[in-house]
Amino acid sequence: MILNISEAASLGIHALAYLSRRHGEAPVTTASIAAAYGVSEAHLSKVFQRLGKAGLVKSVRGPHGGFRLARAPGKITLREVYEALDGPLGRNHCLLGKPKCGLESCVLGSLLTDVDQRVSAYLTGTTLAEIAAL
């Protein structure tokens, strides 16, 4: 697969889509989200810690506690979620992972640049509300 998103970013996007579908309802526990997706609750908890530090989720303490979105789903982009977990979108235009491989032009032409631009535009222009509606 050319597009490689970390497990943490994938979990974060899925978990926040889950919260988006329940926006305005009671807080949701990491246990219920982990069970819904069949993922590790421990790993998901670490993801939520980072999302909380980024101001994307709020934790609610107590017997009926859990997490909820810090803002409306239509106000949170996938890029914000991705960058909270994986850092700024980077551009690596060489399959060898180098600034330049030594050739005059890329063996794939503009493909990698085009993919970077499309992914960046999609993540920037897509909100949690939009993916929650899928």
CATH of the domain at 21: 1.10.10.10
Query: Does a structural domain hold residue 62?
Result: yes
Query: Which residues are CB-contacts of 132 (< 8 A; sequence separation ≥ 6)?
Result: 17, 20, 21, 23, 73
Query: Does a structural domain hold residue 107?
Result: yes
* 14-23 pLDDT, tens digit each: 999 999 999 8
Alpha carbons 131 and 16: distance in angstroms, whole number: 10
> Per the structure block, which two tokens stand in for 91?
């551009």
Strands (E), the chain: 57-60, 66-69
- Range of 97's domain? 7-132
> Per the structure block, which two tokens stand in for 28?
């949701």
Alpha carbons 101 and 108: distance in angstroms, whole number: 12
* 23-74 pLDDT, tens digit each: 888 999 999 999 999 999 999 999 999 999 999 999 999 888 899 999 999 9
Q: What is the pTM of this model?
A: 0.87
Query: Does a structural domain hold residue 1?
Result: no
